[in-house]
Amino acid sequence: MAADELDLTTHGGITPRGLEAVPKSPLFEGRFGRMFRALPIPSHADAALRALGEALPEESNVGAAADNPAIPSAYTYFGQFVDHDITFDPVSQLQRVNDPDALVDFRTPRFDLDSVYGAGPSASPFLYESRDPVFGGVKLLVGRNPPNDPLQGGDPLDPQDLPRNEQGRALIGDPRNDENIIVSQLQLAFLKFHDRAADRVRRATRLNGAALFQETRRLVTWHYQWVVIHDFLERVVGPELVRDVLVRGRRFFDWENTPFMPVEFSAAAYRFGHSMVRPDYDLNETVTGVQIFARAARPGTFESLHGFRRLPSLWTIDWSHFAPLTRRRPQPSRKINIRLAPPLMRLPTSVDAGRNPLAVLNLLRGRALQLPSGQAVAGAMRLRPLTTAQLAFGRLRLAAAHRRAFELETPLWFYVLREAEVFGRSQRLGPVGGRIVAEVLIGLLEGDPSGFLKAEPDWRPGRGAVAFPAARRGDFTLSDLLRFATT
């Protein structure tokens, strides 16, 4: 789901080591750790993991049968955006065992939008508009490309893009949010959301300067947090599980002082989003069927969604193609299952020098981080593990010895995806994956003293002097955010 998951250490040549936490945050970096420390670790060989990863391509000509009508495709990339907000591991290596307790998370483990705000106006002034007499240092910069220039980028209808330098590199808080066109346009939507929110806060409160910025940021961040928990998370794990964790509390994700980033989440359960990726997307009425990666792996062409460049002409995303903003039926995500879209089965060299399938990288990373098996985690949760028939390794082209080994100890990432097929009808996560994802996302918010769950537990969108437009009173969804920010 995220660039770090594809092992892009420098993200197109931009070293992210200096990305700092937001001002007034006691955390300048986080730590990785384990939710289940005492469980046994499988010892699958490289050959077995590679064989399993290579056996997971989406069937050819599957068409709409592979779609998940319950989750529009915008949530695939919102999930990636969230991942970039809370985790980044450029240090661990696939070829050796890694101790999660010694790994540094180079993002704050909070939903604080440091990927948008950087270190704030004083420490990251290049992200902010400085010349406006009222909003100088308050609003975020939005780029404008020359219109009608397909080589340099620029949409004649809406030439807005991320702010960029002369080389076309985005000037944003986290370079990973420019790795593909869809996530870069989502980043742009958040910049515009903040700027439009600043207008509303100014009109309602007459605040200015630092006070205006802080209040705008608080409201934007709290609405974003609401979307994470009450829209995105409810879609991927179900509203019943979200309510259970919020009301009855977390059972497995615990910490002493501050939250950490569990590797069972970051290296396995949260990677369910890889199966949601479509092989291509319609960006608007004109630009359709754009591949995730260029067929010939040529990063300089307009064949694919690759990022780190100016927005090509006519490529401004019409978000009604991705989320339910209008009566248009948006493109759905793919089903949450063990199958990955064909472009993910042979990554371009710009992503992985070995052109491995993404599934292989996920499985190797799980072994390097010594993740427990899915059966072991299910047992720790006092759940009945998937049966041999439910695991259905017999349907895959695997050697008998590999199949037997995986039936006894299934890699956690694969287990989470298969469980979604069995218990979630491929539309949402099952009990193991859903519990890990729900407890971590809710737990991170509960551990943030500036988040709405700690600072004002009864807060709901629409309360107070400033309200943003929403389809339902007291609620705020990704569609509401995109509609307000981009239309």
Residues 58-97 pLDDT 10s: 987 788 999 999 999 999 999 999 999 998 654 444 444 5
Q: Which residue bears the tokens 């001002």?
A: 23
The answer to whether the beta carbons of residues 200 and 218 sit under 8 Å apart is: no
pLDDT tens per residue, range 199-234: 999 999 999 999 999 999 999 999 999 999 999 999
pLDDT at 117 over 80: yes
What is the average pLDDT score of the chain?
Answer: 88
pLDDT at 244 over 60: yes
Q: Is residue 470 part of a domain?
A: no
Find residue 194's DSSP bridge partners: none
Q: How confident is the model at residue 149 (pLDDT cuts 50, 70, 90)?
A: low
Judged by DSSP in three states, 162 sits in coil
The answer to whether the beta carbons of residues 227 and 189 sit under 8 Å apart is: no
Per-residue pLDDT, 27: 33
Q: Which residue bears the tokens 């991170």?
A: 444
Q: What share of the chain is helix, strand, coil (3-state, %, to 5)?
A: 40, 5, 50
> Computed from CA positions of residues 238, 241, 245, 246, in that sequence, does the dihedral angle turn out positive or negative?
positive
**What are the distances in angstroms from CA 62 to CA 53, 111, 190, 237, 335?**
19, 36, 34, 25, 12
* Range of weakest confidence among 49-53, 310-314, 321-325: 310-314
Q: How far is Cα 432 from Cα 158, in angstroms, rounded to an integer?
A: 44
Q: How far is Cα 359 from Cα 98, in angstroms, rounded to an integer?
A: 19
Mean pLDDT of 125-149: 89
Q: Which residue bears the tokens 């002369």?
A: 166
Mean pLDDT of 147-168: 78
Mean pLDDT of 156-166: 87
Q: Is residue 77 part of a domain?
A: yes
pLDDT at 129 over 90: yes
Q: In terms of residues, how long is the chain? A: 487
Q: Which residue bears the tokens 């993910």?
A: 344
Per-residue pLDDT, 152: 59
CATH value at residue 388: 1.10.640.10
Per-residue pLDDT, 325: 96
Q: Is residue 322 part of a domain?
A: no
Q: Is residue 154 part of a domain?
A: yes
Q: And the tokens for 64?
A: 């709409």
Per-residue pLDDT, 62: 85
Per-residue pLDDT, 204: 96
Which uninterrupted H or E stretch holds 233? none
Q: And the tokens for 368?
A: 């390097």
DSSP 290-328: EESS-TT--TTSSSB-B-SSPPPTT----GGGTS-SSSS
Q: Which residue bears the tokens 């040549």?
A: 13
Q: And the tokens for 282?
A: 């319609």
Looking at the 3D structure of the chain, how many domains does it have?
A: 1
Q: How confident is the model at residue 378 (pLDDT cuts 50, 70, 90)?
A: very high
Q: What percent of the chain clears pLDDT 90, i.e. is strictly above it?
A: 76
Q: And the tokens for 376?
A: 């072991």
pLDDT tens per residue, range 382-441: 999 999 999 999 999 999 999 999 999 999 999 999 999 999 999 999 999 999 999 999
pTM beyond 0.85? yes
Mean pLDDT of 449-476: 96
Q: How confident is the model at residue 157 (pLDDT cuts 50, 70, 90)?
A: confident
Judged by DSSP in three states, 289 sits in coil
Q: Is residue 94 part of a domain?
A: yes
pLDDT at 479 over 50: yes
Q: Is residue 287 part of a domain?
A: no
Q: How far is Cα 319 from Cα 329, in angstroms, rounded to an integer?
A: 11
Q: Is residue 487 part of a domain?
A: no
Sorted by sequence, the CB contacts under 8 Å of residue 229 that are 6+ apart come out as 242, 246, 441, 442, 445
The runs of H, that is alpha helices, within 302-411 are 358-368, 374-380, 388-391, 400-408
Q: Is residue 318 part of a domain?
A: no
pLDDT at 21 over 60: no
Q: Which residue bears the tokens 């700092």?
A: 20
Boundaries of domain holding 45: 3-272+333-452
Q: Which residue bears the tokens 């309200």?
A: 467
Judged by DSSP in three states, 64 sits in helix
The runs of H, that is alpha helices, within 87-163 are 114-117
